[in-house]
């Protein structure tokens, strides 16, 4: 198979398809298009391939996927749609939901049969809300672990996982996470961890990075490799200056690369540049409760909505019908030894026993074990502050068992976390309240009430630990409630949770073939959008983990096919 180097070739003057971005949506689109016999260029702004996908957990929500069918799960399109409608309440569903549900199984089957992309079934991963149509497993997939050496020398262009979500650069997969938590408690878990570290340190010595790729990094890597195998031209460090438009059609892009300006013509331009989680101007415009406030996003910093703004100048319409502007998530800000900072998304530990969250008033405001999106909505709904934040609290036992954000569990000492002020430690609740500036009386009452719930196993305030998702977020070995544990052993710890996101839901309006449409609901010829550049098909709701990557992969697959169909139709005229 021909292999196109992403550094040893120059862009051609014309491609059938130009894809802007290099996350899952972009690489799925490019892969689908090249499989249709089209010439494809992928243009990435940064120096690395993978986008936010490479930093993510890598889960994809893909109802009716073939792995679920093979495992014997009973589900149907009607049932999946019923769940999506239950989450949406009385609001009308986006017509692209049907397109997604119809195409997702086809995409999975096609890619696992024809590319380097392989999947692992999330048999025990439930939908996030116990509502009509929900299931307790089978709808979620993640990419199977991948040997980075398969990429050869091109692995240096793969974006590494976010350092603070790894252990010295080693990713921990969802299916082995429990063994790392149990390493100091169970010999079998310790043996697994020792084997993983031994292999990892060998990789560091030989390759200066981990070669056992997992989570979102492996999804990006397997898509990257598949594109290389089929001859897609991939370019990094490319700045898109503008879209070229002639007679109402988008016909190419103006770019800057290596300090030189180029024009690349194409039959189709696909915007897959990751949305606008780092654009203050667009967030101020579309996230009313965030206007004027600082936003913390766990997405890669290149996602600033620049291509969306270029498309708007060409008459594109942006979505206006949405429940929430983004996939909200609490994010803490960690300062590394070199002074750089990182927005860390708190996705895991909030539901563990012995951990709770309080607002600026010292009181709980939501069910901490709910998904990150619901958790953050709970903060917005309960606090009128323009810059709401919360505190995650743990006692010694819970902190050593589960860690707290970037502060990892025992035996890690977390010296930098303490020194930088990221992790706040106190020998009493009174001192902790003083350090985080919350009213001690309210804080003490909250802890006392929470501890009573932990003893009885029933959270009378927010019903924590009762839903299927809550139970999974807790500790199945802990009783009587897997998510509730007392906070009573000093020292006590706190980490500040800022209002943040994993990415945006608002985006360009598209039809079922990923064509960007204008205010008159008409397609703009030559312009397509996928991933977070397009408006979410769930209109700001969050039915399950993986609702970004699942549709990104699916509509990328559909987009490549649609472009080929449109070009064939044009050639026949």
The β-bridge relationship of strands 119-121 and 523-529 is unpaired
What pLDDT score was predicted for residue 291?
53
Task: Note whether 303 and 380 are same-domain residues.
Answer: no
Q: What is the DSSP string of 2-21?
A: ----SSSSPPPSEEEEEEE-
The β-bridge relationship of strands 296-297 and 492-504 is parallel
Q: Running along the chain, 573 residues long, what does each successive block of 10 average in pLDDT?
A: 53 96 99 98 97 98 97 96 96 97 99 97 94 97 95 96 95 94 96 97 96 97 98 96 97 91 96 96 76 81 97 94 93 97 96 98 98 95 83 98 97 97 98 98 99 98 98 97 98 97 97 98 98 98 97 99 93 67
Task: Note whether 516 and 544 are same-domain residues.
Answer: yes
- Backbone torsions φ then ψ of 335, nearest 5 degrees: -105, 120
What is the distance between the alpha carbons of residues 314 and 250, in angstroms, rounded to a whole number? 8
Beta strands in 283-398 (DSSP E): 296-297, 326-335, 341-345, 355-358, 389-395
The C-alpha R_g of the chain, in whole angstroms, comes to: 24
Is 73 a member of any domain? no
What pLDDT score was predicted for residue 2?
39
What pLDDT score was predicted for residue 3?
40
Is 410 a member of any domain? yes
CA atoms within 13 A on the CB side of 296: 21
Is 348 a member of any domain? yes
Joined together, the tokens standing for residue 20 give: 């802007």
Task: Note whether 299 and 335 are same-domain residues.
Answer: no
Task: Note whether 370 and 262 are same-domain residues.
Answer: no
* pTM for the whole structure: 0.96
CATH for 334? 3.90.700.10
Task: Note whether 425 and 446 are same-domain residues.
Answer: yes
Q: Are 50 and 23 in contact (CB under 8 A)?
A: yes
Task: Note whether 48 and 109 are same-domain residues.
Answer: yes
Which residues face 143 on adjacent strands? 119
Is 204 a member of any domain? no
Q: Are 45 and 53 in contact (CB under 8 A)?
A: no
CB atoms under 10 Å from CB of 205, counted, come to 8
**Domain end residue (candidates: 501, 530, 561):** 501
Is 534 a member of any domain? yes
What pLDDT score was predicted for residue 4?
46
Task: Note whether 362 and 406 are same-domain residues.
Answer: yes
* Residue whose structure tokens are 């979410």: 536
Is 163 a member of any domain? no
Sign of the alpha-carbon dihedral angle for 236, 29, 329, 410: negative
Q: How many domains does the chain have?
A: 2
Task: Note whether 385 and 482 are same-domain residues.
Answer: yes
**Domain end residue (candidates: 453, 469, 501):** 501
Is 195 a member of any domain? no
Task: Note whether 475 and 562 are same-domain residues.
Answer: no
SS3 string, 163-223, reads: HHHCECCECCCCCCHHHHHCCCCCHHHHHHHHHHHHHHHHHHHHHCCCCEECHHHHHHHHH
Task: Note whether 526 and 450 are same-domain residues.
Answer: no
CATH for 220? 3.50.50.60
Is 396 a member of any domain? yes
Task: Note whether 444 and 348 are same-domain residues.
Answer: yes
Task: Note whether 294 and 337 are same-domain residues.
Answer: no
For 263, the domain range is 1-58+96-113+150-158+215-325+505-573
The three-point CA angle 304-564-61 to 5° equals 55
What pLDDT score was predicted for residue 159?
98
What is the distance between the alpha carbons of residues 225 and 424, in angstroms, rounded to a whole number? 43
**Domain end residue (candidates: 450, 475, 501):** 501
């Amino acid at each position: 198979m021909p292999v196109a180097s992403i550094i040893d070739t120059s862009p051609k003057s014309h491609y059938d398809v130009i894809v802007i971005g290099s996350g899952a949506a972009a690489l799925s689109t490019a892969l689908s298009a090249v499989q249709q016999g089209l010439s494809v260029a992928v243009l990435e702004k940064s120096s690395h391939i993978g986008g936010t996908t490479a930093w993510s957990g890598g889960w994809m929500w893909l109802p009716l996927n073939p792995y679920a069918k093979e495992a014997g799960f009973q589900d149907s399109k009607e049932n999946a749609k019923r769940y999506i409608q239950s989450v949406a309440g009385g609001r009308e569903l986006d017509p692209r939901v049907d397109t997604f549900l119809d195409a997702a199984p086809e995409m999975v089957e096609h890619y696992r049969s024809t590319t380097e992309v392989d999947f692992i079934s999330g048999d025990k991963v439930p939908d996030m809300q116990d509502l009509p149509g929900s299931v307790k497993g089978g709808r979620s997939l993640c990419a199977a672990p991948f040997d980075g050496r398969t990429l050869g020398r091109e692995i240096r262009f793969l974006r590494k996982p976010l350092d603070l979500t790894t252990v010295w650069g080693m990713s921990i997969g969802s299916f082995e996470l429990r063994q790392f938590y149990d390493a100091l408690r169970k010999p079998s878990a310790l043996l697994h961890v020792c084997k993983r570290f031994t292999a990892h340190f060998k990789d560091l010595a030989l390759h200066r990075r981990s070669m056992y790729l997992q989570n979102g990094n492996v999804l990006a890597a397997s898509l990257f490799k598949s594109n290389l195998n089929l001859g897609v031209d991939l370019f990094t460090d490319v700045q898109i200056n503008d879209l070229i438009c002639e007679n109402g059609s988008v016909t190419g892009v103006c770019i800057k690369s290596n300090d030189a300006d180029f024009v690349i013509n194409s039959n189709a331009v696909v915007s897959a540049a990751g949305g606008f989680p780092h654009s203050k101007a667009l967030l101020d415009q579309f996230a009313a409760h965030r206007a004027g406030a600082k936003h913390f996003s766990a997405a890669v910093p290149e996602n600033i909505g620049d291509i969306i703004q270029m498309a708007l100048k060409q008459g594109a319409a942006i979505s206006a019908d949405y429940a929430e502007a983004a996939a909200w998530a609490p994010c803490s800000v960690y300062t590394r030894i070199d002074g750089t900072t990182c927005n860390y998304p708190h996705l895991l530990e909030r539901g563990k026993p012995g951990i709770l969250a309080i607002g600026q008033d010292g009181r709980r405001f939501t069910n901490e074990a709910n998904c990150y999106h619901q958790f953050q909505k709970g903060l917005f709904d309960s606090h009128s502050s323009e810059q709401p934040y919360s505190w995650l609290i743990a006692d010694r036992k819970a902190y050593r068992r589960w860690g707290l954000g970037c502060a990892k569990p025992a035996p890690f000492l977390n010296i930098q976390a303490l020194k930088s002020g990221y992790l706040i430690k106190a020998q009493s609740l009174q001192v902790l309240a003083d350090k985080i500036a919350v009213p001690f009386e309210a804080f003490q009452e909250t802890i006392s009430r929470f501890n009573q719930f932990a003893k009885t196993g029933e959270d009378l305030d927010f019903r924590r630990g009762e839903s299927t998702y809550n139970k999974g977020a807790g500790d199945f070995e802990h009783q009587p409630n897997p998510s509730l544990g007392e906070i009573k052993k000093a020292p006590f710890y706190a980490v500040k949770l800022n209002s943040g996101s994993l990415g945006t839901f608002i985006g360009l309006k598209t039809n079922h073939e990923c064509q960007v449409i204008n205010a008159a609901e008409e397609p703009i010829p030559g312009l397509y959008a996928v991933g977070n550049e397009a408006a979410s098909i769930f209109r700001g709701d969050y039915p399950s983990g993986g609702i970004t990557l699942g549709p990104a992969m699916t509509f990328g697959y559909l987009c490549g096919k649609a472009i080929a169909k449109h070009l064939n139709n044009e050639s026949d005229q």
